[in-house]
Amino acid sequence: MDALLEQFQARRYEGAFNADTWEQEFDKIPMFMKQCPAEIDPKQTPELACLQSIIFNEEQAPEEQAKIYKNEGNDYFKEKNYKKAVISYTEGLKKKCSDHELNAVLYTNRAAAQFYLGNYRSALNDVIQARKLKPNHLKAVIRGALCHLELKNFPEAMAWCDEGLRIDSTEKKLLETRTKADRFQRAEQRDARKAKVKEKKEQSQKEALLTAIKERNIKLSLKSSKEEDEMSESLAEMSIDGFSSDNATGAKVCLDEDGNLNWPVLFLYPEYGQTDFISAFQENTRFIDHLVVMFAELPPWDMERKYQSSNLQLYFEDEREEIHELHTDHTLLQVLQHPRYFLKAGTPTFLVLVKNSPFSKNYFFGKKVHTLK
């Protein structure tokens, strides 16, 4: 006997688990699996494949097969594996069993899984199908109300809640959902009224702005190639939305409390490729007043220190690409009312150059320049 025991002790048991991987090996036994594999390979897990073939026996009645898929879907749902739950419930519905109660449950359960996946419209379609089979299915009504709430269909959400409360007037989830839907609908209606009032106010402001611009006989540039006489009358054809500025800050012309127009104005310095921008240039202020402030300190790009307010000359380009000199003592309104000034993109734009500089002479070479008299 001792010799026999020694013989067994010396021989290793062939089916023993590895000491380092015993947990993984243990988890491969169907009875002790924590999760079912996504795909079952009969060669790797023959025991599991055998069990699956027993469970999903195609020779069973459609009702029995649908119940099995329903239970499988419920297990996946408990694990929060909603995608697999949807697949299981769908397989159950494919069996097309004659049990309307079971089919209603499958639709409702699939709707719940779709809901947690964020597929609210698919979930809503499922509960609608469930209620066709079982109109008073309370879980389907609750899920439908929640779907409408997520889809911001607040009147429909309240209607579904009311239907459910006729089935069970104490259902807490329906009472909470109805209260929430009612609150959201009131907020939505309030926001819509505010938006309408705001839109009406903005419309009134735009119309007042357009009237002010027309009264000042300020001409607008047309992008299309029309005759010059049509161009001078372009203001009458312009819509009240025609002043959306293309400048980087998004500043637009506006009327102040005193009825004065304030324009976004762009200054270009072609000699150095620089720009300056005034977001609100009051129409009755002079150019020199702004230049004095702008050049109180010499800009860093002016290495020769020649850009001083008293040493600058302003110009604008008309529709014919001809250059017009303007006086720095002129107000913005006086320039905008110039016979050859046409406003482009809602932002008056002017060239700034040093008087009689070599760059200025080269810049205007070959161009027609209208100088002040």
Query: How far from the centroid of its chain's Cα atoms is residue 123's Cα?
Result: 24
Which among 102, 99, 180 has a CA at the least distance from the CA of 145? 180
Amino acid at position 319, single letter = E
Pair 137, 131: CB distance under 8 Å: yes
CB 212 within 8 A of CB 235: no
Residue 48 has pLDDT above 50, yes or no: yes
Give me the CATH topology for the region 235-370. Ubiquitin-like (UB roll) (3.10.20)
Considering the chain, tell me which residue range(s) the CATH 3.10.20.90 domain(s) occupy.
235-370
Q: How far apart are CA 134 and CA 310, in angstroms?
A: 88
Q: Which SS3 state, helix, strand or coil, does residue 40 take?
A: coil
- 313-361 pLDDT tens trace: 999 999 888 999 999 999 999 999 999 999 988 899 999 999 999 999 9
Average model confidence (pLDDT) across the chain: 85
More confident position, 321 or 116: 116
| pLDDT exceeds 70 at position 34 | no
State the span(s) of the chain assigned CATH 1.25.40.10.
Answer: 58-184
Q: What is the pLDDT of residue 4?
A: 72
58-184: CATH topology = 1.25.40
pLDDT of residue 12: 61
The pLDDT tens digits of the residues spanning 166-200 come to 999 999 999 999 999 999 999 999 999 999 999 99
DSSP sequence for 99-122: -HHHHHHHHHHHHHHHHHTT-HHH
- C-alpha–C-alpha distance, residues 285 and 295, integer Å: 17
Look at the pTM and tell me if it is higher than 0.85: no
Among 265, 233, 229, smallest CA distance to 344 is for: 265
User: What would the mean pLDDT of 72-89 be, rounded to a whole number?
Assistant: 96
Cα four-point dihedral sign 207, 209, 214, 220: negative
According to the model, what pLDDT value does residue 5 have? 72
φ, ψ (nearest 5 deg) of residue 326? -125, 160
Tens digit of pLDDT for each residue in 216-265? Answer: 999 887 554 443 344 334 333 344 344 555 555 678 899 999 999 999 99
For residues 113-134, average pLDDT: 97
With CA atoms as reference, report the closest residue to 131 among 111, 114, 156.
111
Rounded to an integer, what distance in angstroms lies between the CA atom of residue 312 and that of residue 356? Answer: 9
